[in-house]
Amino acid sequence: MTKYFGTDGIRGEYQNSVVREDFFEKLSTAVYTYLKNSLKIEKPVIVIGGDTRFSRESLTDAFCKNLGNSIVYDLKTAPTPAIAFAVKHFNADLGVVITASHNPFTDNGIKFFDKNAFKISDSAQEKIEEFIDSNLPETSFSGELSAPNILEKYIEKMCSLLPANALANMDISLDCANGATYLTSPKVLEKLGAKVNCIGVSPDGKNINDKVGSECPENLSKFCLENSSDIAIAHDGDGDRLLICDSTGTPFAGEEILGLIAMSDSSSKNLGIVTTIQSNTGLDASLAKHFIKVFRCGVGDRLVSQSMQENKCIIGGENSGHYIFSDISPCGDGLAGAIKFLSFYIKNKDSLSDLRKHIKLFPTLSKAIKIKNKIPIEGTKNLSKAILECEKNLVGKGRTLVRYSGTENKIRLLVEAQDSESTAKYMNILEQAVENDLQ
């Protein structure tokens, strides 16, 4: 259990948590010490950048303050996947991203990539935390600092994923969330021949993710209809998420996007794909018809990436909109996901709305129920038996997920089944057991 790091780096409200300049200076010393002492790197090469939040610049300056004799490439504003790309481009030892992803501008944070552009390991995080709390003397910056323009290289790579003018005659609505992708995604789509209508491309430091971006599907839907677009695409503030709407303004579920991309990629038929325990099991059933295996892991793109390595999969993703393609990068990339989806779309004669028929998601019910006590689930009299009964009947046809809330006196129930009647039936069985044991 880490003290400062969460599921995706360190994140919190700017100045009201550890996301402060003084803490980032301590973190800088700890990271430099980790690179020098633990990894035995004589002169570390570090790439740093972040999204469009007003606090990014001062937090970057604070983090760079104690990087000793490092060579530092400051990319300024850049999407998270472009920073991962730069790590490989510069053969860097570490990538640093100043971002709070899809959170509001009042938050910020920091996450790290290793030399292979993977999120750093749990053991690396634990070692850095040890150094943070060791009150080490400052390791004042005495190295080299430069600000290269790497985004054009990243744009070139993204354009190379499709043939020239592959998107000619296509009308695309694009929402960049007033985040870092305003510098990259419009250019890539236009270079590939599309007519692009944009919103969320005027960042002012405080409007990132503000009623725009992948967390606001209703906004993207409206914009798509206003422009009579063929397709609508949205990212979050740092560019590692993707939301897609069809021409009717109807958003695709994350599982639908992942499933359709998997169906179009020959590697998935041989190796399978990875998703998390939160994804709808209708995805598994739909892909099984195409002989595509689905591996599941815990929540978070870092765990998805790890499972992809373990299972030798090239495609992985979460229903939240994170998609990873290891033939492109080990980092989630909303633009790469959009291009992969567009590639599938232009190869098929079906309309986008018709493509949905290939991925049939199961009806889902979820409830959060207040309880008196959190008895270990395996020790309950009725609930443990009810879970076993449901799971036995739902093998290959759905699932249940039962867990306690980590912050409230509640138990969370999720049921998926092939039809609404079965979903309601098994939810009722679980609810009755909760009432008998926990209320």
Phi, psi (5° rounding) for residue 363? -60, 140
Closest CA to 116 of 181, 70, 47: 47
Q: CB under 8 Å to 170, separation ≥6 — which residues?
A: 193, 194, 195, 230, 231, 342, 346
Closest CA to 158 of 20, 339, 374: 339
Cα–chain center distance at 95: 17
Note if 101 is an active site residue: yes
**Per annotation, catalytic residue among 55, 70, 101, 268:** 101
Closest CA to 405 of 364, 363, 365, 367: 367
Strands (E), 265-336: 273-276, 294-297, 315-317, 323-325
Closest CA to 383 of 363, 405, 411: 411
CA gap 437, 375 in Å, rounded: 9
Q: CB under 8 Å to 212, separation ≥6 — which residues?
A: 175, 176, 177, 178, 199, 200, 219, 234
β-strand pairing of 398-404 with 410-417: antiparallel
Ordered strands of the 171-175 beta sheet:
195-199, 171-175, 231-234, 243-245
From residue 227, give the alpha-carbon distance in Å to each of 149, 197, 210, 220, 248: 33, 7, 21, 11, 11
- Using DSSP's 3-state secondary structure scheme, residue 281 falls into coil
CA gap 94, 87 in Å, rounded: 7
Cβ 377 vs Cβ 402: under 8 Å: yes
What type of residue is 269? K
Closest CA to 8 of 210, 302, 334: 302
β-strand pairing of 71-77 with 144-146: parallel
For 47-176, where are the alpha helices, taking DSSP H only?
56-64, 80-89, 122-132, 151-159
Residues labelled as active-site residues: 101
